[in-house]
């Protein structure tokens, strides 16, 4: 282990005992780590949604082995009727819902006049989050928890990323508004803003950028690490840890907030 690496933190065993959670984008990356963390913390039932049926099945086995009864929903967020139908069936069977983590997202680049990508990215990242949340609301208990996974690009711009930036800025606004709508029931709604998390999404982005400018992806990765004050990429499980805190009883007074996990990359922005 590198001296700057952190040991895997032990989740508070049993902290989420008996809870039911929905996690979207759970087949890999931050969503998978979140599902595993919830299972380790004692969640009784997990409803995991992702369009990647094979990887979702593998995560379902992992969380099942950790003791969480897990229902995989292999649907694409863009197929709204299928999403609503699958969630309705799963939630009716599961009983009250305590936790919703809206994590699924895509980071496709677009030029300023590329409407097709604009509509697709907004459809998945922003409207997809709305649709899942709307379908879950009637099942969510008082004092329930919602976490929306935005991005450091929810607060800043990036070239060739108008769609992604707009979707992630939108999620922060959505989080703040929804937090006020649900506050009287003790439900908290917060946004997590990851940056430079070592996931398949980041590896794809770095490979694509390197190819575009004819650079070596390994060199770009080294440069990325250097630009981060902690001198390393943040692990997906570390983003999951922040989500785990926000859905716990310890965070009952934290709502309408946007919390960044980026190794200091944005210098406290």
Ligand X SMILES: NC(=O)c1ccc[n+]([C@@H]2O[C@H](COP(=O)([O-])OP(=O)(O)OC[C@H]3O[C@@H](n4cnc5c(N)ncnc54)[C@H](O)[C@@H]3O)[C@@H](O)[C@H]2O)c1
Antiparallel, parallel or unpaired: β 197-198 and 188-194:
unpaired
DSSP track, 139-189: TEEEEEEEEEE--GGGTS--TTBHHHHHHHHHHHHHHHHHHHHHGGGT-EE
Please identify the residue of the shown chain whose CB is closest to the bound ligand X.
29
Residues 108-127 close enough to bind ligand X by CB under 6 A: 124
Q: Name which position in 60, 63, 133, 151 contacts ligand X (CB under 6 A).
A: 151
> Can residue 263 be called a binding residue for ligand X (CB under 6 A)?
no
Backbone angles phi, psi at 150, to 5 degrees: -95, -130
What are the structure tokens assigned to 191, written together?
Answer: 């946004």
- The reply on whether position 195 binds ligand X by CB under 6 A is yes
- 243 counts as binding ligand X under rule CB under 6 A: no
Q: Which of 118, 174, 196, 265 binds ligand X (CB under 6 A)?
A: 196
Site string for ligand X, 25-64 (x = CB under 6 A): x-xxxxx------------------xxx------------
Closer to ligand X by CB, 179 or 243: give it: 243
Instruction: Tell me if residue 174 is catalytic.
Output: no
The single residue among 199, 206, 240, 247 that binds ligand X, judged by CB under 6 A, is: 199
Contact between 265 and ligand X by CB under 6 A: the answer reads no
| Cβ proximity to ligand X, 68 vs 124, nearer residue | 124
b/e map of 71-108 (b: 16 or more CB within 10 Å)?
bbbbbebeebeebeebbeebbeebeebbbbbbbbbbbb
Q: How many residues bind ligand X (CB under 6 A)?
A: 28
Contact with ligand X (CB under 6 A): which of 106, 137, 228, 256?
106
Dihedral over alpha carbons 24, 51, 236, 257 (to 10 degrees): -30
Let me know the angle formed at the C-alpha of 163 by 202 and 119, rounded to the nearest 5 degrees: 115
Burial of 130 from C-beta contacts in 10 A (0-12 / 13-18 / 19+): middle
Which of 118, 164, 196, 265 is catalytic? The answer is 164
- Using CB under 6 A, which of the segments 92-100, 101-109, 111-119, 249-257 binds ligand X? 101-109
- Where on the chain is the footprint of ligand X (CB under 6 A)? 25, 27-31, 50-52, 76-78, 103-107, 124, 149, 151, 194-197, 199-202
Q: Which active-site residues does the annotation give?
A: 164
């Amino acid at each position: 282990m590198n001296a700057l690496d952190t040991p895997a933190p032990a989740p508070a065993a049993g902290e989420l005992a008996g809870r039911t959670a929905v996690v979207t984008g759970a087949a890999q990356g931050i969503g998978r780590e979140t599902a595993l963390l919830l299972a380790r913390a004692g969640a009784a039932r997990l409803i995991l949604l992702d369009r990647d049926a094979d990887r979702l099945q593998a995560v379902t086995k992992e969380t099942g082995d950790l003791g969480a009864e897990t229902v995989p929903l292999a649907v694409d967020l863009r197929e709204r009727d299928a999403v609503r139908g699958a969630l309705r069936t799963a939630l009716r069977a599961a009983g009250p819902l305590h936790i919703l983590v809206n994590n699924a997202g895509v980071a496709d680049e677009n030029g300023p006049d590329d409407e097709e990508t604009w509509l697709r990215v907004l459809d998945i990242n922003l409207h997809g989050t709305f649709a899942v949340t709307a379908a879950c609301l009637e099942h969510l208990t008082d004092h329930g928890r919602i976490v929306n996974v935005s991005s450091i690009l929810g607060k800043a711009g990036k070239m060739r990323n108008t769609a992604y930036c707009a979707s992630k800025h939108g999620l922060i606004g959505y989080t703040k508004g929804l937090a006020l709508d649900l506050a009287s029931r003790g439900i908290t709604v917060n946004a997590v803003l990851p940056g430079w998390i070592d996931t398949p999404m980041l590896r794809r982005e770095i490979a694509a950028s390197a190819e575009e400018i004819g650079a070596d992806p390994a060199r770009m990765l080294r440069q990325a690490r250097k630009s981060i004050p902690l001198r390393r990429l943040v692990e997906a499980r570390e983003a999951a840890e922040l989500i785990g805190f926000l859905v716990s009883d310890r965070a009952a007074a934290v709502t309408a907030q946007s919390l960044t996990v980026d190794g200091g990359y944005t210098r406290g922005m």
